[in-house]
Amino acid sequence: MLNRRAWLDEANPKSGAGNGCLLGNTSSAGRRVAKLNAKGSTFMLKNCFKAMAGFSLLAAFSSSVFAAPITSKPLSMALTQVKPLTKISVLLPSKLPSAIDANIHASAGTGDETSYEIRLYYQKGVGDAGFAGYFSGKLNSNFPNLKHRVSLVHGVMGYFLPGSRGGSRSPSTIEWSMGNVTYTAQLKLPIQSAPEQQATMVAVADSAIEGGAR
């Protein structure tokens, strides 16, 4: 790795080292670069900047390639429906809680350029009793207004509302905003305490954020 003196010598043409983009010891490399004419030095600098840009693109590409794939079949099917319809980033978790995923028998996805909605059903066509989950993203939507704030991955702030108990249980909800898009995830969880619901929904949101644009 270049020390500060070596880097300054290479950056300053008056030092005799020329202009370079070098890694490693510069004792001999500096002398070789000094022999280059102005045209050769410019060529080296251009290649250096191209390499640096290439490393940045590679890092971004790797982040996307190695994101965990979606293992939930209902979510995967719904993703194929909404992805061609919208221009905003679709954020979905890589998986759903097993107790829910195993019992989902239908999904539906809709969307337009600035939004998408995915609905999951235990049984379709029977109203709220068959509802299992909901995921959405909406551009320039009102910022989440749920009372309970929770910390999500990468410093994102989320807002959580536990589901109610009783005959017609309401779903647990978590919302967060990224890049002017408000994302919502709802799941009708098995009977759980509020802290257990929160832990489950935070994990779902974290997985969606970590997965990036699908």
Residue among 131, 30, 6, 7 at smallest CA distance from 74: 131
CATH class, domain 73-211, is alpha beta
- Give CA–CA dist 46/24, Å, rounded: 19
- Give residue 29's identity as a one-letter amino acid code: A
Query: What are the residue boundaries of the structural domains of the chain, listed by start?
Result: 4-65, 73-211
Cβ atoms 21, 51 nearer than 8 A: yes
Q: Which are the contacts of 79, defined by CB distance < 8 A and separation ≥ 6?
A: 70, 90, 92, 109, 118, 214
Structure tokens at 41: 């030095």
The pLDDT value given to residue 70: 87
What pLDDT is stored for residue 14 in this prediction?
41
75's tokens: 């979510």
In the numeric block, which tokens belong to residue 35?
């022999």
Q: Is this prediction's pTM over 0.75?
A: no
Q: pLDDT digit of tens for each residue in the chain (214 aa)?
A: 444 333 333 334 444 444 433 333 444 444 444 444 444 444 443 444 333 333 332 233 233 334 688 888 889 999 999 999 999 999 999 999 888 888 898 899 999 999 999 999 998 877 777 899 999 999 988 766 667 999 999 999 999 999 987 656 789 999 999 989 999 999 999 878 999 999 999 999 999 999 999 8
First and final C-alpha spacing in the chain = 38
| Model pLDDT, residue 190 | 84
Distance of CA 6 to the CA centre of its chain: 39
Conformation bin of residue 24: beta by default, left when phi > 0, alpha when psi is -120 to 50 = left
**CA separation for the pair 80, 155 (Å, rounded):** 29
Three-state SS sequence of 174-212 = EEEEECCEEEEEEECCCCCCHHHHHHHHHHHHHHHHHHC
The answer to whether the beta carbons of residues 91 and 134 sit under 8 Å apart is no
